[in-house]
Structure 1
């Protein structure tokens, strides 16, 4: 039986260097990150001349608009997470090629060189911030690239004609174990008035998947002499740009307000369930919304919650995303309002973990990318 497996391919503009990778999404398991396995193929000319070829994994963080980069300003930082000389091959190489690499080396010939890069778990996840309609250029956020180039040293200024740059993503999936059911109770008393107003908010679970409906259970006990006139529930996305001291803000990505069951008179209680679904389709024109990183010009979704192994990792290089449910009770101009918040986790489910078996007669379905860009639509090669 012949089995097809997917391979991504990109060549340098001069055609002397070609990069093959088996995937473009690499999973952060909190304790470790999937290794970046690939194969480098050199032209005969470069191979004969023993041209030095280097490979790097670059984490690029853009925190300002590209069109505002004037008078020498630069709103982009680059962090080199891995760097290694790939050719001439070192005599002592401490890694074992994967099955995919072995199959590609056998298929591509003697100029094929397998390589592996390892990322630290503290590296940030791929996140981009949605641009406004009138904005052009690269979006703000965190992006990753595998860069292969010819040069004299790892710090040599690269020449575009002999450089391959392929965009990849560092992603996180939902954990297998979920936390306790979220629940909170807030109370408010009033000056010169007896009793208090109590709001209890409960979610049916802590972890939700993208596109899933969130049931917000609200229990209101009005033991005061005030009247609740309206109830509003919101899903708020928290964005923490850790490069800035004041780079924290929130966006409401889903909301619902109702007067059903209102006014809630003194001495009465009301219990109701409000349903919210946070979706990017409802926030297409909202500037600053955090989205999952993109590797091609295709639709994405709201950014997933950033999972950290410890709070100290908040100082890492990147953008941290969180979500919370906020419920407000409106009591009128004189009574003010009462609010309760509940954090929750919004992520993609972990895909099937069954490994693909690559047989000796397997055929590679190669997807190529144009040389002048990393994000233009790909074309299939046969």
Structure 2
């Protein structure tokens, strides 16, 4: 049976070291992340190596400041090698994938497969906007992953020379786990007054805790005014909170806003029950400082959807590393007559649905055909950072 596979290829500056990958997006789900499998090809490997070694590393980079702001030896970048393996073209590796086997046959001598593993607590790829004037194609703040291959003179050589080093960017994302608890978060707040009897009681709740990118979020608000004050309006905002775990820094961006005067002014003794529909979008706060997006693989334009909530597979949020993203809805009631305001917060999670889930099917039905075409176009752009080969190969069907 014949088939066509898309192969990603990148070459070192000296033109002798190549890395081939079958995919550049790796997903964590239910505690496990897909392994990074590929091929390292050394052209004329006997003359190129001359007894030296070749290492392939999975490197995560955490950048918390702009590169152009680094002066006087100051560095805003931290790198961590989370997996490392030695490859030798003279050895035959077992447990190859079908794609690795086919590439070895096509490339010939000097091609050797490798497999790298993500650790259990590896953070997701995240892109952070630093300012409104920043060029989207040159954003460098956030968490990024690379597959790096280099020729080393010794076992403790972790960098190699620039001319014989090749680095290909990849992305790690996360799907919502199956066993996540779907509770209905509720928050209540009340306010009394020193020079008046009675109080105002505000209650807000969501139908569920986990929502998916592109979904509408219905917010149910109940308000009882047992005071002598008047309720002028209700404001609802969704905030994205970003915490940089390696440095003491926090960002907060409003990704959805709504203000309503429906049922207002609400006089003394009145009550109000309303459902407001919110949809968090990156477009309404594009360029805001500290806004977190899903890291893209494109050098042309940035990814347009917001970063997913950070979910710890162990259940302990203290295990989260890198850029920790969370979301919350704030409901604020504005009062008249020097009454001030009353507010409450509800945390929730915004994630990617599993492709095989019912929610994913329903979400796809909600999308318009125009938006689907735009998404497909964007996805194709993400896969075109480096040279892309369309390799056709024939395999036997084992049925």
TM-score range, shorter chain: 0.7 to 0.9
State the secondary structure of the residue aligned to 2:280: coil
RMSD: 2.4
Alignment partners' CA distance in 1, 2:83 and 2:263: 59
Greater helix content: 2
Quick check: 1:322 aligned with 2:326?
yes
Distance in 1, Cα, partners of 2:90 & 2:331: 60
Distance 1:333 1:63, change over 3 A: farther
Contact 1:146 1:165 survives alignment (8 Å): yes
TM-score under structure 2 normalisation?
0.83
Given the superposition, is the C-alpha separation of residues 333 and 17 from structure 1 closer, same or farther in structure 2, using an over 3 Å criterion?
Answer: farther
Q: Distance in 2 between matches of 1:141 and 1:333?
A: 46
C-alpha deviation, 1:73, in angstroms = 0.8
State the aligned residue count: 359
- C-alpha distance in 1 between matches for 2:46 and 2:133: 44
C-alpha deviations, 1:154-211, integer Å up to 9, x for none? 5424222211100011110122345112222222222232222111112222221112
Structure 2 CA distance for partners of 1:188 and 1:39, relative to 1, 3 Å: same
Determine which of 249, 252, 264 is the counterpart of 2:251.
249
CA contact (8 A) 1:47 1:111 kept: no
- What is the CA-CA distance between 1:346 and the residue it aligns to? 0.8
Instruction: Give the equivalent residue in structure 2 for 1:134.
Output: 133
| Structure 1: gaps (5+ residues) | 354-373
1:71-86 residue pairs with structure 2 within 5 A? 71-86=72-87
Q: Match for 1:225 among 219, 225, 228?
A: 228
How do 1:139-158 residues align onto structure 2 when only pairs under 5 Å count?
Answer: 139-156=140-157, 157-158=159-160
Report how far residue 120 of structure 1 moved.
0.8
Deviates more, 1:255-264 or 1:39-48: 39-48
Query: Cα–Cα, structure 1 residues 155 and 138, in superposed 2: closer, same or farther, change >3 Å?
Result: farther
| Separation in structure 2 between the aligned mates of residue 89 and residue 221 of structure 1, nearest angstrom | 77
The answer to whether the Cα contact below 8 Å between 2:9 and 2:389 also exists between their aligned partners in 1 is no
Counterpart of 2:167 in structure 1 is: 165
SS of equivalent residue, structure 1 residue 28: strand
> Partner of 2:68: helix, strand, or coil?
helix
| Partner residue in 2 for 1:42 | 42
After superposition, give the CA deviation of every residue in 1:37-60 in whole Å (9 maximum; x if it has no partner). Answer: 111111124467343111111110
- Please name the residue that 1:341 is paired with: 345
Q: CA deviation at 1:280?
A: 1.3
Name the residue aligned to 2:62. Answer: 61
Is the partner of 1:141 in helix, strand or coil? strand
Change (3 A) 1:375 1:21: closer
Matches for 1:1-382 after TM superposition, within 5 Å: 1-29=1-29, 31-46=31-46, 49-87=50-88, 96-135=95-134, 138-156=139-157, 157-178=159-180, 179-245=182-248, 247-297=249-299, 298-300=301-303, 301-310=305-314, 314=318, 316-332=320-336, 334-352=338-356, 377-381=385-389
**TM-score w.r.t. length of structure 1:** 0.87
Distance 1:345 1:168, change over 3 A: same
CA contact (8 A) 1:149 1:158 kept: yes
Cα pair 1:295 1:375 within 8 Å, conserved:
yes
Gaps of at least 5 residues in structure 2 are 358-381, 391-399
Deviates more, 1:105-114 or 1:82-91: 82-91
* SS of the residue 1:274 aligns to: strand
